[in-house]
Amino acid sequence: MQQQIGETPRLAADHLTVSRGDRVLFSDLSFQVEPGRVLLVEGRNGSGKTTLLRTLVGLRFPDEGEVTWCGTPVTEGALAGDLAWIGHLPGVKGDLTVHENLQMALSLGVSTGLSLEEAVDRLGLTECEDRLVKHLSAGQRRRVALARLLLVQARLWVLDEPYTSLDREAVGFVESLITEHAASGGIVIMTAHQDVRLAGVELQRIDLSA
């Protein structure tokens, strides 16, 4: 169910408990993220960061508790048309070119108005636009995935390690995208192994190791 224009987007987790096998990753976890905020999920390896992100977008069910978007459970399709999800893996098609991957992404959502050529140029992919993605470097594949943020409208960005395989220049570019999205009233939930520097943005943090 896509939210109606004028509704205030808000993602809320209510008393979440999630286990892996016989191990409880986190329990009784509650929080909400308001428009214009960036939530950084922190914790040591194996603490459940990716699992929490997957639970927030409805890719897995919690053992207890509920996640809602604008008051509607995400398991009922509340995020349809509102979510940009970039997982730890790039999630791009290796047997398609850069251009074909981006065309496919654009066909599945509402355009931001930026052209494919502009997105490719901004992410430094012009020279490999017609190459199969499987022949690109890990950093280039990550840039192809991130190009979806430029092309497709979404009020909620959930980004699992978005800086993986990127050089410092590319990291700076992604940080600017996140900052701009928050400034426009969007919501970002992310994990990162390195320092997150977002000018003018006060990070909301959850540490799953605590």
In sign, the C-alpha dihedral spanning 103, 138, 48, 179 is negative
What pLDDT was estimated at residue 7? 59
* Mean of pLDDT values over 95-102: 96
Residue 150 pLDDT > 90:
yes
What pLDDT was estimated at residue 1? 32
Report yes or no: 65 and 29 within 8 Å, Cβ to Cβ. Answer: yes
pLDDT cut 70: percent of the chain above it: 97
Residue 188 pLDDT > 70:
yes
* Mean of pLDDT values over 135-144: 95
Residues in the chain: 210
Q: What would the two tokens of residue 81 be?
A: 């048309």
Backbone φ, ψ for residue 66 (5° rounding): -155, 150
Question: Over the stretch 155-164, which tens digit does the pLDDT of each residue have?
Answer: 999 999 999 9
Which of 44, 57, 52 lies closest to 20, judged by CA? 52
Confidence of residue 210 (pLDDT cuts 50, 70, 90): confident
Residue 95 pLDDT > 80:
yes
Angle at 26 between CA 25 and CA 29, to 5 degrees: 160
Residue 4 pLDDT > 90:
no
Residue 205 pLDDT > 70:
yes
The pTM is what? 0.91
What pLDDT was estimated at residue 5? 40
Please give the span between the terminal C-alpha atoms of the chain, in angstroms, as a whole number: 35
Question: Over the stretch 10-37, which tens digit does the pLDDT of each residue have?
Answer: 999 999 999 999 999 999 999 999 999 9
Specify the higher pLDDT residue, 85 or 3.
85
Report yes or no: 178 and 209 within 8 Å, Cβ to Cβ. Answer: no
Specify the higher pLDDT residue, 183 or 5.
183
* Mean of pLDDT values over 118-144: 94
What pLDDT was estimated at residue 197? 85
